Every structure is written in C-alpha cells, then in structure tokens.
Amino acid sequence: MRRPEGSAGSTEALPAGLAVAGVTATAVVGPMLGLSPWLIALGAGSAVAALTVDAARFGGMGGHLLAEALPGGAARLRRIAIHEAGHALLAAENNLPVKQVLVGSLACLRQGLAANGTTQLDPPAHAKLPAPDLRRWSRVLLAGMAAEVLIYGSSRGGADDRALLGRLWGLSGFDAATAQQEQRRARREVDQWLRDQREELESRAEALLLQAPRLLRLSS
C-alpha cells in the first residue's frame, strides 16, 4: 500500500535524473577543472551502464537499495516500518486481514514489487462499497501517513494510499464533498487511536525491522 516516495514512476526517474544531472555538471565544469574529455566520456558511459543494469536487474530500484545501504539507511528503513506498522495495526483493529507486510526495497523486489514497503490486504469484494466499509478502509489507508506524522512530524509516503482511497469513494458513488468530509473524520479517529497506541506502534515497527532482509551495509 505504499510506493517509493510517491509513485512507481518516480522510482525510475530518481537515479536517472541524478545520473543525467551529474553528467551534465561534469561536462560543464570538468574542462574548467582540467578534466580530460575522455574521462568525462568514460564517466558518462559508466552512468549509462549503471542505469541499464539497474533497470534490467533491479527494476529501477537500485537508487533506493543503495540509499538503504548507505549511512542513514537504518533510519530510512525504520520510517518505512513505522508507516507499514500503522497500516497493519489499523487493519487488525478494523477486521481487515493482512496478507503480508514488507519493509525495504530488497524485500519488495524479492516479491516482484517496485516499492519501499507494502502492507498487502485482500481487495474489497466489490468496487462499490457501503459507507461503513469505506470508513474502515479510510482508517486503514490513512494510518500509514498518520503514523509517520505521529513519530516524525511529517509524512513522506502515502500518495498511493490517498489515490486508492479517492478511487474507492468515487467508485462507490459518493460526491467529492462527502468523501473529503468522511476522510477528514477518519484521519482524526486514526490520529487519536495511534496516539493512544504509540508504544504498540513502535513495538510493531521494530518487529517488522527484525524481519526485513538487509543489503551489505556500507556504514558501520
């Protein structure tokens, strides 16, 4: 229920954008610093090769895998775990069975998913849901963002959660004003519930981290 920092498309754009920016900057500044043109060409070729390998082997997730292995990677994974723990706890509270919870790009890639983390639930039985079911789904889908805000003061993930929630309300025939009102109500309920369950939230996140596969750390 969570894509890397927004959407699956931005996952591929991140390393590609950084590589292009790096090559462009080197081409402009390199001659001023006395770098040989062949070194610049070699660097550009290496960047293209790295992107090709990333796309072929890691589905464009190489940048995220690297970020989780670099210094600060543990903190990044913990934030993902907090997000997914929020989903899992609210799912249990609202009687929505959880199929599996994955934390980290490596765990998701092993399952063929282009994501940093995910909480997988059985999809709704019908596209058009009654209001009580929509309220349950609202609480569960909003819980990841709410958990991040509770612990960190802001939310990085959750764009896909918001998009899915909007589709569920729209497909069920509710107007935008009603859907927004109901989602604000659900968010208030989730915020309060997680504040009361903060210790359990952090405990669940730590348990998820212990289960997460790790790359060879590039930090001590």
CATH classification at residue 152 = 1.20.58.760
Verify that 57 and 87 share a domain, yes or no.
Answer: no
Single pTM value for the model: 0.73
Verify that 35 and 142 share a domain, yes or no.
Answer: no
98-103 and 117-121: which strand pairing?
antiparallel
Q: Is 215 exposed, middle or buried (0-12, 13-18, 19+ CB in 10 A)?
A: middle
Q: How confident is the model at residue 24 (pLDDT cuts 50, 70, 90)?
A: low
Verify that 105 and 197 share a domain, yes or no.
Answer: yes
Verify that 42 and 87 share a domain, yes or no.
Answer: no
**Residue 70 or 214, more confident:** 70
Locate the DSSP E strands across 82-133: 98-103, 117-121
Verify that 149 and 110 share a domain, yes or no.
Answer: yes
- Identify the pLDDT of residue 106: 87
Please tell me the distance from the alpha carbon of residue 148 to that of residue 157, in angstroms, as a whole number: 8
Tell me what the mean pLDDT of segment 6-16 comes to: 37
Q: Is the pLDDT of residue 191 over 70?
A: yes
Domain count along the chain: 2
- Let me know if residue 216 belongs to a domain: no
Q: Is the pLDDT of residue 217 over 90?
A: no
Verify that 64 and 117 share a domain, yes or no.
Answer: no
- Let me know if residue 87 belongs to a domain: yes
End-of-domain residue from the set 69, 84, 113: 69
- Let me know if residue 116 belongs to a domain: yes
Verify that 139 and 105 share a domain, yes or no.
Answer: yes
Verify that 44 and 96 share a domain, yes or no.
Answer: no
Verify that 86 and 60 share a domain, yes or no.
Answer: no
Q: How confident is the model at residue 83 (pLDDT cuts 50, 70, 90)?
A: very high
Q: How confident is the model at residue 149 (pLDDT cuts 50, 70, 90)?
A: very high
- Let me know if residue 220 belongs to a domain: no
- Let me know if residue 218 belongs to a domain: no
Q: Is 164 exposed, middle or buried (0-12, 13-18, 19+ CB in 10 A)?
A: middle
- Let me know if residue 194 belongs to a domain: yes
Q: Is the pLDDT of residue 152 over 90?
A: yes
Verify that 154 and 204 share a domain, yes or no.
Answer: yes
Residues spanned by the domain of 38:
4-69
Verify that 65 and 78 share a domain, yes or no.
Answer: no
Tell me what the mean pLDDT of segment 40-67 comes to: 51
Verify that 80 and 61 share a domain, yes or no.
Answer: no
- Let me know if residue 219 belongs to a domain: no
End-of-domain residue from the set 53, 69, 85: 69
> Strand, helix or coil at 127?
coil
